[in-house]
Structure 1
Amino acid sequence: MAANTTAATLPLSGRVAIVTGASRGIGRAIAIHLRSLGAKLVINYASSSSQADVLASELNSKAADSIDTSPVAIAVKADVSTPEDVKLLFDRAEQEFNTPAHILVNCAGVLDPKYPTLANTTVEEWETTFNVNTKGAFLTCREAANRLARGVGGRIVLISSSNVGRRCRDTVRTRRRKLQWRQ
């Protein structure tokens, strides 16, 4: 960020972004970048809060130099494959930042590194991956379509991995392609 740039001149100042799967990997990098552009963040994680809490703490401590002492980032546990948790994710954003979210970046996804061959994949393993990678993307996009702030250029962004070199990558790719629809 340039030395003469103030928070009010940042392109996402006053905007709230929900980033699913933001505790690590590309979700974390996207959250950091959105914050550098002035967005307030909801850092979503599914199981372990430690990485999400560290990221929120780092972002809040960097913002502590400003006059406004309210947090710029919060960590929220939510399983994106359940409608109730997705609703909670958006509710927490509105409660914490007193405005509907403006941006959803969906980075949440699972692929077990020990993922078996297709012939050895259990129905439970397949359903878990499908529920997070496809149903979770649908649920968060649907909630965003109903709740993003209107008239201010809201955005929905979906991110997925190509899983190059991974076993059963065609199965995972098929799950994400189910979400590619046209308006």
Structure 2
Amino acid sequence: MSHSSGGFFQRLQALSPRRQQAFMAALCERLLPNYALYAETTGHGEVKGLYAVLDLVWERLAVKDARIDFDRQAEKLAALEPPAEDDSFGARRALEAVVAVSALLDTLRGEAPEAVLEVSRASKGGVRAFIELTEGEEDATRLGELVRRHPLMEDENAFQDAVLEAVEGHLDREALKALRRLGRNEGVSNLGLNAEA
């Protein structure tokens, strides 16, 4: 199945807010091992805090009137960002995870119509950056081709397609649990990295 971004993004934008939130939550799950890996290797950050925020989001998706102060959660989240002066590859991917969860919180706190596209693009952008880092190809055209055909990018596109299809379907508690398992991907991130040593 070819991943045509036009149709894909249109379908994303056509989703109800709750379905968009479920889509983002699944993508966030798959970004968290990158953050965990960064926290493990540098001692910066606190992965439990990030998972705790995401837990509350899943709770809210399952129980509509769950009373959760998402403004408070957003404050906690800001404290979990990697230090601004750390420009390493790991820090950028960790920041991506925090920013994705943050965009998801924005939709729970009010209007954030672009958030779902931001999270989708951030996840793909991290994969692209990882491929560029590991392939070391200088030629932009060749690199673009490499990125498109790279197994990690194919995997990323297939994953986002699968999540989109799931959230377009019936979203009861069981479906949400299955979606979260899909996002957790057995602890392997969108970069194919696993934080659990």
Higher relative contact order (CA 8 A, sep 6+): 2
Structure with bigger gyration radius: 1
Query: Could you say which structure has the higher strand fraction?
Result: 1
Query: Could you say which structure has the higher helix fraction?
Result: 2
TM over 0.5: no
- With the length of structure 2 as denominator, give the TM-score of the two structures: 0.27
- With the length of structure 1 as denominator, give the TM-score of the two structures: 0.28
